[in-house]
Structure 1
């Protein structure tokens, strides 16, 4: 079992949350690996999922504000030439945030 601390993103000045959907430029193993390796070293990216559907990856990103997110897109994600397109959605309000798992009843 891991110890975990829950931090207040607002107090740490990174309370702006965006979900960013990425589509690879080409569906190759190399491009997928480049994304998966890159996200490991980008602190703004809290979560990354390889997903099915219209996009290939879903990122949960924390920044200070919209201006910081714009800089993040241009300076960080913009440097990854394996990305074909992206689409961002912004969190207006958090309704539920938990790390609990739905354990089977015994």
Structure 2
């Protein structure tokens, strides 16, 4: 899909503040309200815009522990992978899951209320899944950068 300069301008604005009214967005990107609304709708329908969310501060929501866990599986049979994938999908503590190339099979981004809760989650749930061989965890001490905004540049 080709995004023109106006599409990119809209996306940049929405990544910064998705709560802009259509009129505010139109003004910021130099369009009138109707064409701006039509462009946003098209970007939504084509899947460029996948949704809108509120980003929450984990300190205020009681989940200050952030960990990245590298997972190795004992085998890669479809049923083992499916069981792991279903567990990940249903687990609220797991924010992200990526299938990897290299030494590990998966990388999980996990939040927790405490270190003891995290330890219980790993030892009582994750390591009890059939097919999970090992979990290697790194804890975030200080987050130096956090953004959900993708870099957008003109193709011209």
Cα RMSD of the aligned pairs, angstroms, is: 1.2
Deviation at 1:56, TM superposition (A): 0.3
Within 1, Cα distance between the matches of 2:133 and 2:110? 19
CA offset at residue 28 of structure 1? 1.7
SS at structure 2 position matched to 1:55: coil
**How many Å separate the matches in 1 of 2:99 and 2:83?**
13
Matched position secondary structure for 1:11:
helix
Q: Who wins on radius of gyration, i.e. which is larger?
A: 2
- Unpaired runs of at least 5, structure 2: 1-48
What residue number does 2:142 align with?
A: 93
| Aligned counterpart, 1:82 | 131
TM-score when scaled to structure 1? 0.93
2-structure distance, mates of 1:103, 1:37: 33
Which residue of 83, 91, 100 corresponds with 1:51? 100
| 1:36 Cα deviation after fit | 1.2
**Runs of 4+ that moved beyond 6 A:** none
**Per-residue displacement from partner, 1:4-30 (whole Å, max 9, x unpaired)?**
101111111101001000001112222
1 or 2 for the larger relative contact order (CA 8 Å, sep ≥6)?
A: 1
How big is the shift at 1:31?
A: 1.5
TM-score scaled by structure 2?
A: 0.64
Q: Name the one with the larger strand percent.
A: 1
Q: Which runs of 5+ in 1 are unaligned?
A: none
